[in-house]
Amino acid sequence: MIKWLEYRNSNSKDIVKRSEGESVRILGWVSSKRVHKDKIFLSIRDRYGYLQIVATPEESSDNIFNLAKTIPVESAIAAEGIVKHDPRAPNGVELRLKDLIVISKADIWPVTKSALKSPELMYDKRHLTIRGPRSRAILLIRSGVIKAAMEYFEKNDYVLINAPTFITSAVEGGATLFKLKYFDDYAYLTQSSQFYEEAAICVFEKVYVIQPSFRAEKSRTRRHLTEFWHIEAEAAFADHDDIMKVEEELVSYMLNYLNEHYSGEIKTVKKSGIKIYEPPFPRISYDEALEILHSKGVEMEWGEDFGADEERVLSMQFDTPFFVYGYPASTRSFYHMNDPDRPEVTLSSDLMAPDGYGEITSGGQRIHDYNELYNKIISFGLDPSQYEWYLEIRKYGMPPHAGFGLGVERFMRWILELPHIRDATLFPRTPSRVYP
């Protein structure tokens, strides 16, 4: 058995610092191979990226040269070679192959050129196609999105909590709930951790979660998943304006963080890089948004919610993220606080991405008064007994508070201009896909 450490005294990142002529070893996968008459180019992928390895009959023994020639792509290997700095090599450095050990030989790669043209086939083989440079870069950027959000919240004194996945009361309405058998009873998969965050702010004042939410979305769009990662935050002693500031600061922080730490990966996905926006973002009311839509020929009445089509038209008019605030009470869940100066609208907003991308966050001030919440639940035709514990926290010192949720994949689709939201996640879940 190979002693792994002995076979990894370098890697695709470290190698640029190594001296010309030095002998080094790396572990990785053969991501691609080009065979010429007297030269074989292997591109080796490891945790850090890619490295070019060159085999020639002069520098490699016959056995090693032939092995390099015949090795199937995606085989896991250990390689030893001599460092050669060469501006023509992808990172300005390559290894001239001396020794090659096949640790795990790959079968013939099943993703053919024609499969590349079919998104469905590509996603049937997602367990393999994630190895490509584009998926690899997107998934690394995704890890950066989560790290950036955590860093922002930690710097701002928020406490990370974890909320349950099995729940009994709907946050966002019954239409998109996944119901499942829970022993002799039924439970649902969580749509949002907001209610649990609201309980926790009475301990920590400011909390956040980063975990999956589930929506049985019937609409098959390019911006909906049935399982998505939700960055949510809730703050006590805060109002709607306060939480909008947190949202724009967070978005800007994440953009700057990604630009600083993931510029290479971003270029792999989007050559022009990502755009950076600094707060404050413009704010327009629902009424103003409706006027814009009417002026663009969209027919809809006051009190109707904006769907994907309306958001696209609206956000085409902006080249920076912008808030739409003051949504009619009829378009928002029961827990939203009505505006005391204008009770037909709520103290709520959506942050819209520009250029047609539409909603990326949704937030607002929650009702903190017991009676007000109880009456709103009744007025929505809901059963207060379904919300017993959620109501009860209002009996024991619930201060004014506000919060929001941002979908990780939605955010990524926007900044990287991905054709479909499924590209932003490792193994996407959509109405037609729970495999692999």
Taking the complex as a whole, the smallest distance from the CB of residue 27 to ligand ATP amounts, in Å, to 36
CA distance 373 to 347: 14
Binding site for ligand ATP (CB under 6 A): 172, 215, 217, 224-225, 228, 230, 359-362, 405-407, 409-410
Taking the complex as a whole, the smallest distance from the CB of residue 160 to ligand ATP amounts, in Å, to 18
Q: Which is nearer to ligand ATP, 26 or 293 (CB)?
A: 293
**Structure tokens that stand for 356 in this block:** 């047609």
Q: Which is nearer to ligand ATP, 24 or 337 (CB)?
A: 337
Q: Which is nearer to ligand ATP, 233 or 236 (CB)?
A: 233
How many residues are recorded in the chain? 436
Q: Which is nearer to ligand ATP, 10 or 190 (CB)?
A: 190
Q: Which is nearer to ligand ATP, 2 or 175 (CB)?
A: 175
Closest by CA position to 44, among listed 11, 19, 69: 11
Taking the complex as a whole, the smallest distance from the CB of residue 362 to ligand ATP amounts, in Å, to 3
Taking the complex as a whole, the smallest distance from the CB of residue 145 to ligand ATP amounts, in Å, to 12
Q: Which is nearer to ligand ATP, 77 or 293 (CB)?
A: 293
Taking the complex as a whole, the smallest distance from the CB of residue 66 to ligand ATP amounts, in Å, to 50
Taking the complex as a whole, the smallest distance from the CB of residue 407 to ligand ATP amounts, in Å, to 3
Q: Which is nearer to ligand ATP, 98 or 410 (CB)?
A: 410
Taking the complex as a whole, the smallest distance from the CB of residue 226 to ligand ATP amounts, in Å, to 7
CA distance 188 to 174: 10
Q: Which is nearer to ligand ATP, 16 or 426 (CB)?
A: 426
Taking the complex as a whole, the smallest distance from the CB of residue 338 to ligand ATP amounts, in Å, to 18
